[in-house]
Structure 1
């Protein structure tokens, strides 16, 4: 859940509950998304050696989509728009479909993995470009966090 329930006592004396975004949601969502991109690349490597099936790759892709959506929502909770990277899951899907339509091999991996990595790099740049807006939204300084 991307919001924390907080209770406060307003001047009228009635207890109210609000849903406020939690600062930890964005870093957690981004970390999960980055981890799943690594898993996708590893699953493609395993597929190329016939150690994983198309279904295994597909399952990781579905989890990536879920993590991507969670990341978008986490940023949106702070008023930060990620529409410039909305096409990333579809771009990955297109490349994965083309890759998986071939027989598993090092040749297929070498043919499609550079494009997968390029798409992931675009995702990373997109997320990095929102970093200052996020730190501003949570009241932190906007220098790069490591």
Structure 2
């Protein structure tokens, strides 16, 4: 198993370096990112009930950003352009900042959660649009169609 190191400069300007060891890094990175999006939504729900802090939501967002960067790097290892989804963390951050600037409540959650879900759906569509290129790159296009 060969290991490659790739660097990705996300729009926030922080250099990310990730060690890539196999074609399984993409599915793992995507699965971890998707799990983190679910965790973020659940943490927002808990925040609206005053059962999670603003800091907890922020921590999950930071983890989501890290997972997002790892996913981008994993795809870029196979020379798959991810530029169409680079804006997603910034879009999500703007909505979360607006949400967390208000008092935790069901009303606040209902006001912002639809936009959070739209952003996550855009992420999912972006990732899904890369699947064929990924499977083609690893020689398994026929297995996944």
Q: Could you say which TM-score interval applies, normalised by the shorter chain?
A: 0.7 to 0.9
How far 1:5 moved relative to its partner? 3.5
Runs of 4+ displaced beyond 2 Å: 3-6, 142-145
Distance change in 2, residues 1:89/1:142 (3 Å): farther
Give the alignment's TM-score, normalised by structure 2.
0.85
3-state SS in 2 of match to 1:102: coil
Q: TM-score, normalized by length of structure 1?
A: 0.85
Q: Number of residue pairs matched?
A: 131
In 2, distance between residues paired with 1:92 and 1:31? 19
Partner of 1:4: 2
Unaligned runs of 5+ in 2: 5-18
Of structures 1 and 2, the larger Rg is shown by 1
SS at match of 2:3: strand
SS of 1:139 mapped into structure 2: coil
Write the distance in 1 (CA, Å) between the matches of 2:139 and 2:107. 49
Separation in 2, partners of 1:35, 1:20: 20
1:20, CA displacement in angstroms?
7.2
Mind listing any 5+ residue stretches in structure 1 that lack a counterpart?
A: 7-18
